Amino acid sequence: MNGTEKWWQSRAIWGGLAVVGAVLGKFIGYDIDTDATLQPAFVDWVLSGVAFVGGALAIWGRIKATKKIS
């Protein structure tokens, strides 16, 4: 690996943060629909989708990484 990058420049870190945020949202029962017009299953799908994309970004970011995180 050549050089370093700040933690906020890492795709892997951002992907991991997205996963953690989605999992925490599901854990605490985060409701993105204040009017209750969305079905709870849809909210679960959205949070699961965010977790999936975040995980994929973390893996892709780690594979493509050319610098260490500082």
- Segments forming the whole domain that contains residue 27: 4-69
67 touches 4 (CB < 8 A): yes
pTM: 0.66
Q: How many structural domains is the chain composed of? A: 1
Convert the pLDDT of each residue in 9-37 to its tens digit. Answer: 888 888 888 888 888 877 787 655 556 66
Buried residues in 3-34 as b, exposed as e (16+ CB within 10 A): eeeeeeebbbbbbbebbeebeebbeeeeeeee
Per-residue model confidence (pLDDT) at position 24: 82
64: its two tokens: 């493509």
